[in-house]
Structure formats: structure tokens, C-alpha cells
Amino acid sequence: MRSKTPIFQKMATAMASFSTLHHLSFSLFSNPSLSLRPFRSFPRIINCSRSSLSSSSSSSSPSTSSLQFNISFAPPKPKPKPPMSDQLLDPDDLSSDQLIIPWIVRGEDGNLKLQMHPPARLLHAMANAETEKKKNKKKDKSLDKVSPEPKYSKAARRFFNENFKKPEQRLSKVLAATGVASRRNSEELIFEGKVTVNGSVCKAPQTRVDPARDVIYVNGNRLPKKQPPKVYFALNKPKGYICSSGDVESKSVLCLFDEYLKSWGKKYPGPPKPRLFTVGRLDVATTGLIIVTNDGDCAQRLSHPSSNLTKEYIAAIDGIVTKRHLFAISEGTVIEGIHCTPDSVELLPRQTDISRPRLRIVVHDGRKHEVRELVKSAGLEIHSLKRVRIGGFRLPSDLG
């Protein structure tokens, strides 16, 4: 019997606690002030003690012996005021502990006012600036990813070098083409040790170089990688000009191109100015067609006797020209130890505005003063001499 006593005590304690919870729930739902409403949470219980339970149980009727709680509620939290967007701010209403940054904005009515949030235009500009920065970052990342250069096979590189790549040229020729000096003067500069190629002094004019890849210095000045383009001019040489650029005292035909060379940088930015020279020569008193270029190969083909280019001259003669004179000119004469004969000699018909007789003489040798020597050997004197054709190039009639 003693062993069963604690079990009965535990059962009695559990029944007492169940009855206490039953009376508590009955008192809560029976009080109309504490009636529950839908969609509303219970208020927070601040103080609930055992003494309150005992006092409530003593004050209740003995029949029910219910317990009552001493419940107190926390004060309601103040609701936040809505932001004053378009209303004017009153400095007296602002509390000292609240940080407010006012914005001065001109309203639609044209008056200035204070508002708490920044203007819409500023917010819109900041948003656009952020998006533009993100776009730029994306672009920068895309630029960093550079595709590697394609690798070509040896056969493809050999085919390109043999068919499309410009061959290397002699050093003296490159200097002359770039406008440093003539080919002969360029060779003298090379012999004097004033030209360096890739950091070393080069004294061989026949050295093969590529100005696009090799670093060439002349008298301490870097030779440009780009060479000037090839240009060709047909010049109607006036009387009193020489066909050489070396003599400073006399007037050269190259002085007629000064204005053209001054405007070269505006017309063709990048490549240097070309070094012009004449193809062949005409003496000071002779006028007419002469070709000016910077292409040495073309000048060599045009001026060399192996090209067999004919040159046509019109000579105005002082005095009377007879058949005997024509036969004497056609038989030729000896010039510098070589017998030279013209291709054709013709007496042109007289013109009303020209009183002197004119001869049309065609030669192909190109010896020095060849036409003058042929006319002189026939016993005639030339008043004026003009060249009108070189091979297939004829002097335009409207060229001043």
C-alpha cells in the first residue's frame, strides 16, 4: 500500500492542474471585454505571477474556485508619419534627433520650395549613369578578349611572299626614293658611315633592306616606314630653266613644284614628300615636254637608249631652208665620236602668224644637243627649239 501512495498523489496533482486550466479558459471566454475578434492577434502579456493567481482564486466564488490573471497591455506604438513629398517643411515641427536633408526645388508654379526627397530628374540621371557604367564595363570586358591571330602554314606564307610581298630593295635606292638625296649622293652618305640599319653602321649601298621592317637612321634621323607614292608630271618647260637641282645659282624646273610640295601634307597626310627629278634633260634655251617623277625605274626605262623611244622636236630656223639643207640633216653628223642620224626630217608649211620656217625633226639616240648639232652641221642656225613628244607621250596643246 505504501508503494502505491505516490502514484495517487501524482494523479491528484494532474487533475488539479487540469481543473485550473479549465477555469482559466472559462473566465477568459466568459468576460465580454476579452472576447476574441477575427483576424486579430492577442495582446502581449506583461505580468503574470503566482500571487495574482492566488488572489484571483480567493476573490472568486468558492463554487467555481476559478483563477484570474492580472494582465496589463503595452502602450501602442506611434504610427510613422507619411513622407512630406510635395508639402512645405516647417522648421518648428522638425525634431532635433531626426536627420533631414532638405532639397530646394522649383515647382510647376515657378516658386521655390523645400522637400525631403531628391528631385525626380536627379534620381533618373543617377539611374542612367549607373546603367551606362555597367554597359561600359561589359564593353571593356569584351575588348579584353582579343581573338588570337590566325596561324598560316609555311606553304601559305611562301606563296604570299613570292606573289604579293614587295621584294627588298637596295639601301641606296630606298634612301633616294624616300627623298634623302639622289642615288649617287645616298651612296656617298653610306660610304661615310652616316647610315645605320637596325642599330649597326652599314657601308654597303647594295645591302637589301625593307623600310617597313628595318629601322634605318640617316644622320641621326629616323627614315619613315612609309615611302611616298609614285607621281608623274608632264611639264611644259619654259625658257631659262635648267633640268638639274644641284646648281643653286640657276633656276631649276623643280622650283615650279614648290607650291605643290608645300600642300603635300594636307593632301596626303602620313607619307613623306617625294623627291622629284626630271627624266632626261633639256638645255636652258630649249622648251617643251619633259617628264618629272620620283620613280627611278620608270625614268631609267624612258631615258635609256635601249628603249628606242623617239623624240620629236620643232625647230624655228633663221634664214631660208632648201632641199640641200634637208639632205644634209638627214645624212647625220658625228656627236661625241658616234655618228648620229635622225629618224625623219620634214619642212612644215608656213603659217601666217609665224614668219620663220620650221623643221620637224625626230631622233631616238638622245645625245647631248643632238638636234642642234644636226642643224648646225647643215649650215643653219636655230632660233628656237621645242620638244613636243617623247615616245607615246605628246605635249598637250592647252598646257601652259
Per the annotation, the verdict on 283 as an active-site residue is: yes
Please name the residues in contact with 238: beta carbons below 8 A apart, sequence gap of 6 or more. 287
CA of 66: how far to CAs of 11, 23, 58, 385, in Å? 20, 5, 9, 148
* Alpha-carbon gap, residue 294 to 67, rounded angstroms: 122
* CA separation for the pair 227, 223 (Å, rounded): 9
Please state, in angstroms and rounded to a whole number, the distance separating the CA atoms of residues 253 and 273.
17
C-alpha cell at 130: 549607373
Give phi and psi for 316, each to the nearest 5. -90, 125
Closest CA to 235 of 286, 183, 272, 176: 286
- Smallest CA-to-CA distance from 204 within 229, 228, 175 is with 175
- The three cell numbers of residue 179 are 627623298
**Residue 80: Cβ within 10 Å count:** 6
CB 276, CB 294: distance < 8 Å: yes
Q: Could you say which of 92, 140, 283, 297 is catalytic?
A: 283
What is the number of residues in the chain? 400
Catalytic residue set:
283
